[in-house]
Amino acid sequence: MRFYNQRLAGPALRGLESDRLSLRVIGWLHTVHKETISVPAAVSTEEFGIWPAPPHPVVYFMPASAQQGLLYQPLFFHEFGHLLYACHEPEMDSLVQDLQVQIAELLEPLARRNDAHAQAEERQCTIIVLTWYKWAQELFCDAVGLTNRWLCFHPRLQPLFAHEPTYRVSLFSG
């Protein structure tokens, strides 16, 4: 219950008119992917980001000033990539680990020395290999965003943006 109170209650209960466009884009994103169709979502006005924790409700973040038009809505597609990554985390992590092994092999020195300089180089290589976990996840999310960004302006989405005063995405609906 503490998790819901700390992270989800505020965005779920606020229901501002200014959230409508963002909630429609996010709601549409969730309905077109079988992995996320039953994952409820809310939006909050903080720096761009997401709390992906499927099957728990997801909170997307976008500053209030950026929610007022279509200009920044494609950023939700990148954030949605984080949710897809979380839905497929075991498979994705396995792919990233394979990449990390390949990177480590490329960074392997041709000859090994046993001194402080060699130990410092080894620590630096370890940092590089570990950093690629976050980089790979961000590149995946960029690919999701770039692959799907055109959808924000696609004619089939016009009904999504039509005036519908009773529309509301419920955080706890299925």
Higher pLDDT, 168 or 57: 57
CA separation for the pair 108, 46 (Å, rounded): 42
Q: Specify the pTM.
A: 0.73
What does the domain layout of the chain look like in residue ranges?
A: 2-161
For residue 83, what are the contacts with CB-CB under 8 A and spacing of at least 6?
36, 39, 50, 52, 54, 58
Residues 40, 60 contacting (CB under 8 angstroms): no
- Flag whether pLDDT at 5 surpasses 70: no
Reported confidence tier of residue 109, pLDDT bands at 50, 70, 90: confident
Residues in the chain: 174
